[in-house]
Amino acid sequence: MLAALFSNAQIPDKEAINNLIEDIAESSDEELDYTQLYEDLYYYAQNPLNLNTATREDLEKIQFLNDFQIEDILEYRRTAGEMKTIYELQMLESFSAEDIRNILPFVTVAPESKQSIPEIKDILHYGKNTLFLRTQFLLQQQKGYTDEVDIDKQYLGNRLKYYTRYQFQYKQKLKFGFTAEKDPGEAFFGTYEKQGFDYYSAHFEAKNIGKFKVITLGDYQVRFGQGLIAWTGLTQGKSSYVMSIKKKYDGLRKYSSTDENKFMRGAGATVKLGETEITGFTSFKYIDGNIDLTDTTDTETEIESITSFQTTGLHRSISELQDKHSVSEFIYGGNVNWRHKSFRIGASFIQYFFGSELNKDIRPYNMFDFRGDNGLNASIDYQYSFKNFYFFGEEAIDKNGAAAFLNSVQVKLAPQFSLALLHRNYAKNYTAYYAAGFGEQSKTSNEKGMYFGTEMHPVRKLTVSAYFDAYSFPWLKFGTYAPSEGVDIFTQANYDFNRYINAYIRYKQETKYRNSSYDYTGAVPVIPAEKKQLRFHINYRLSKNLILKNRIEYAQYETPETETENGWMIFQDINYMLPAFPLKINARIAFFDASYNARIYAYENDILYGYSIPAYSGQGIRTYLTLKYTVIKDFIDIWLRFANFAYADRDVIGSGYDEIQGSNKSEVKFQIRFKF
């Protein structure tokens, strides 16, 4: 049976990548950019990672591996030497049959080869070029494109989104390329955008060149410790991978995504000196901000400040263009870490300067937010494994002495039972502009909490995972004008009937506080708001080329002041690859009826490096069809996608400048990829 499992899983499976991203994405209500995560997994699906040479950083790119599993692989190599066959994974206690099936599409076993600096002729001969061209648009017209809005609010460009991306890659040693994007509504050439695309990005990354572990030029990401002072790019929080709570793969890496804000632009490098690594970086770029000019009649000058930073990356109208690149940003920082076997300790700092002061309007809930024109953060982080225990954490301060702490321990009580504890305490006045620590909020401040996670394999083929997260907010926050607390409860049971059929059932409950809608003589008491979700999902492979998925999900939202709100959604997915024709088909039909507060999110199979996680809210039907056609194998691929919301409870969709008249919202995407 295990032999069948291994032979079946060796096929690089895009479905495995989609399932992983869905599990990570559904824990957030935001549409984040998963390009880097998908790129890492897609690369290893095409070029499996050699378990005999993989570093901890390499293994951490496979996000569903927890720290015990990574440590088991490294320890097995230290004690038993090279793996001779992939079957040896069965000897590692931390790997269940399901874990092995998940990892197999991305790994292999081969003799260790000597590392050397590649020659130019090898780079040019074996390097791979990839060029993406993409466009997407809504069929229906939005209000911002009409003359119904003020002239300074009208969208200056057409409704098409343009995306171009080129990358050269030689193994994992050398990468360089560029990305260019125009969002819908933004001008393309002409008076308002003479440079063509609204956003340009370029990157260069070289690894393991002499003493240099990594060199980055252009746009890149910075990730230190557990994100308490600096973590750019995708960050994973609570998800169905309940033991994967440690932030992984820190350091410097190239940036090729389209988020126009939190990345570095400049240069950085990491030098490896024995067991010590030293990193330094510097960055300068312009960001968007709302400019406030104060007239001082005594001196006949104007003082410029910023009321807020703009992070949408949208420059569709004259008013939005006025905020574009209005603030300069200079950043520098560094990290030193020492690793010896299973112990690592590091020290980091980051300092940032803005060309204008941030002076947002003071409200009770934001009185401790970042203000001014500069900030400084420093931290110490660590990780250590000892027998069945794994410890990690980070302790940080800002320039005013406010602190943030995160500490965690994971323990394997038995081969079938693991437990994780994570405590965080972020001061209400702690400010770190580039922080992204584990927590309930998007900002790393004003939060205390304790997370308990567990994963069990009580019987063969069954995996049970659960977490309990209790947190509090010592100070006010937006929408909750009093100190408050909350609780998240999650449990999921996965069962593999066989290698063709697997299913899971999930229950999730969130209890948070929000402002009361009643006026109590000026006071604003808070009330609990509780959301419960129950899901059943099943995948079944009917043949080598046909996979079906079904899901039923129910949500309920209630407060003491309102009637209970309900929501449900049911979908059918079909993934089919024609046996004698290079065409792949992914389709869904979903029926839903959900209030806004009981809305349901569902990840959708999209074009390569495209993502869609829409909210199912209201009454209606959601459908999409994604086609991939290989024109010339290993050279030209084409994707076409059509997706539509057909609502039964409204004849106006959206609001503001994105408002659509009608009951349908339809999106078309077209993408072509050249590989050479």
Q: What is the pLDDT of residue 261?
A: 85
- Measured CA to CA, the distance from residue 204 to residue 676 in angstroms comes to 19
Q: What is the mean pLDDT of residues 198-217?
A: 94
Q: Is the pLDDT of residue 492 over 60?
A: yes
Q: Which of 29-33, 168-172, 410-414 has the lowest average pLDDT?
A: 29-33
In the predicted model, is pLDDT for residue 468 greater than 80?
yes
User: Residue 9: which pLDDT band, with cuts at 50, 70 and 90?
Assistant: very low
As a whole number of Å, the end-to-end CA separation of the chain is: 40
87-96, 605-614, 626-635, range with greatest mean pLDDT: 626-635
Characterise 211 by phi-psi region: left (phi > 0), alpha (psi -120 to 50), beta (else).
Answer: alpha
Please report the pLDDT score of residue 38 as a whole number: 74
- Tally of residues, the chain: 676
Residue 240 pLDDT class (50, 70, 90 cuts):
confident
Looking at residue 254, its pLDDT comes to 93
| pLDDT recorded at residue 452 | 97
Give the residues across from 456 on adjacent strands: 417, 464
Whether 666 contacts 642, CB under 8 Å: yes
- Spell out the residues 6+ positions from residue 499 whose beta carbon is closer than 8 angstroms to its own: 4, 5, 8, 101
Other CB atoms within 10 Å distance of the CB of residue 537: 18
- pLDDT tens, residue by residue, 129-169: 999 999 999 999 999 999 888 888 899 999 999 999 999 99
Cβ within 8 Å of residue 406, ≥6 positions away: 226, 228, 393, 394, 395, 422, 423, 424, 425, 437, 438
Grouping H, G, I as helix, E, B as strand and the rest as coil, residue 39 is helix
Q: Which residues contact 426 (CB under 8 A, 6 or more apart)?
A: 228, 404, 405, 437, 439, 444, 445, 446, 447, 448
Nearest to 412 by CA among 245, 243, 239: 243
From CA 314, how far away is CA 361, in angstroms rounded? 23
Average pLDDT over residues 189-203: 93
* Stretch 532-553: mean pLDDT: 94
pLDDT at 11 over 50: no
Q: How confident is the model at residue 237 (pLDDT cuts 50, 70, 90)?
A: confident
Q: What average pLDDT does range 56-85 have in this prediction?
A: 84
DSSP letter, residue 322: H
Cα separation of 61 and 41, whole Å?
Answer: 7
- Regarding beta strands 618-632 and 660-661, do their DSSP bridges make them parallel or antiparallel, or are they unpaired? unpaired
What average pLDDT score do residues 557-563 get?
A: 92
Model pLDDT, residue 124: 79
Q: Is the pLDDT of residue 101 over 50?
A: yes
* Nearest partner of 136 among 592, 633, 624, judged by Cα: 624
Average pLDDT of the residues of the chain = 89
| pLDDT, tens digit (0-9, with 9 covering 90-100), for 561-617 | 889 999 999 999 999 999 889 999 999 999 999 999 999 999 898 998 887 889 999
Does residue 495 contact residue 471 with C-beta atoms inside 8 Å? no
Residue scoring higher pLDDT (33 or 527)? 527
Angle CA(574)–CA(17)–CA(12) in degrees, nearest 5? 90
Domain ranges of the chain: 1-116, 118-204, 210-448, 541-676
Other CB atoms within a 10 A radius of the CB of residue 156 amount to: 20
Q: What is the pLDDT of residues 258-311, one digit of tens each?
A: 888 889 999 999 999 999 999 999 999 999 998 876 554 555 555 578 888 888
**What's the pLDDT at 37?**
72
Residues 6+ apart with CB under 8 A from 519: none
Long-range contacts of residues 456-460, Cβ cutoff 8 Å, at least 24 apart: 456/416, 456/417, 456/418, 457/96, 457/415, 457/416, 457/417, 458/416, 460/97
Residue 315: band (very low, low, confident or very high) from pLDDT cuts 50, 70, 90 = very high
Token duo for residue 152: 């300074």
Q: Are 618 and 647 in contact (CB under 8 A)?
A: yes
